[in-house]
Amino acid sequence: MPQLIAGNWKMFGRLAEVAPYAAALRAGAPAHVELLVCPPFTLLDRFAAALAGGPARLGGQDCHPAPEGPHTGDIAAPMLAEAGARYVILGHSERRANHGETNAIVHAKAQAAIAAGLIPIVCVGETEDEREAGEAEAVVRGQLMHSLPPGFAGVVAYEPVWAIGTGRTPTEADVTAMHAAIRAALRAQLGASGAGLRILYGGSVKPGNAASLLALPEVGGALVGGASLKAEDFLAIARAAPRG
């Protein structure tokens, strides 16, 4: 399975940026990875048209557990699918921290995404205090246990909270150890299917460190934040992924 290089635009981006960005992906996307762009909801329709028939897929940044209803400001998984999304990011640390999302909420959202035909990317990761207390792996195992629904067949993204947007990254040994722990937890939780799920690394991924991070054992791609906003940086990260 190819590595997945996913770009999370967060609350950035304007309509004028869509066409040149999509054109750059069409011209420069490497064939040995799967590219994914997750822009703000306002850009989904424009991106769907611009990326149609090209090498990159489209994703949303969140969805509500319900398929519809009186939920002002939210978006339902079927709406994302109708807009052209194939993936959806769920449980990002910024959602967990800024919107009080619990593992139970992430679990319900993952179920809703799957029911709508979307592939959920469920994010897990520890805070700096949790890592310093020696609780990092236990925290992540707990998030997996309570966030992934039975038979989960999506993607997991490990993002150490303290590395997101800070320019700091864990050591390669830390990333390797956590991805191994996540793989073991997935096997224990999901059985044989847990052995094949992609585990992305996220947290200050950029062109300068992408090759070393993407080459580590059990790293199946990257969830890229700020560096995904510039097509040339995003493509440089994608090209850094190992072949074969």
pLDDT at position 164, please? 78
Whether 128 is catalytic is no
Prediction pTM value? 0.97
pLDDT tens-digit readout, 13-27: 999 999 999 999 999
In a domain, 211, yes or no: yes
- φ/ψ bin of 42: left (φ > 0), alpha (ψ from -120 to 50), beta (otherwise): alpha
Of residues 34, 64, 92, 101, which has the active-site annotation?
92
pLDDT tens-digit readout, 155-205: 999 999 988 777 787 899 999 999 999 999 999 999 999 999 999 999 899
> Could you give the CA distance from residue 80 to residue 190 in angstroms, rounded to a whole number?
27
* 225-242 mean pLDDT: 98
Q: Which domain holds residue 211?
A: 3-239
Residue tagged 């989904």 (tokens): 44
DSSP label at residue 195: G
Q: Residue 40: is its pLDDT beyond 80?
A: yes
In a domain, 140, yes or no: yes
pLDDT tens-digit readout, 54-92: 999 999 999 999 999 999 999 999 999 999 999 999 999
Whether 92 is catalytic is yes
Is the CB of residue 50 less than 8 Å from the CB of residue 18? Answer: yes
pLDDT at position 165, please? 76
In a domain, 223, yes or no: yes
Q: Residue 44: is its pLDDT beyond 90?
A: yes
In a domain, 56, yes or no: yes
DSSP label at residue 92: -
* 211-218 mean pLDDT: 98
Mean pLDDT of the chain: 96
214-240 as b/e, with b when 16 or more CB fall inside 10 Å? beeebbbbbbbbbbbbebebbbbbbbb
Domains in the chain: how many in total? 1
> Could you give the CA distance from residue 210 to residue 233 in angstroms, rounded to a whole number?
10
Q: Residue 228: is its pLDDT beyond 90?
A: yes
pLDDT at position 162, please? 85
Residue 224's DSSP bridge partners are 7
In a domain, 26, yes or no: yes
In a domain, 244, yes or no: no
> Could you give the CA distance from residue 188 to residue 203 in angstroms, rounded to a whole number?
26
* 98-126 mean pLDDT: 98
Of residues 126, 159, 179, 218, which has the active-site annotation?
159
Look up the CATH number of the domain holding residue 166.
3.20.20.70
Q: What percent of the chain has pLDDT above 70?
A: 100
Q: Residue 100: is its pLDDT beyond 80?
A: yes
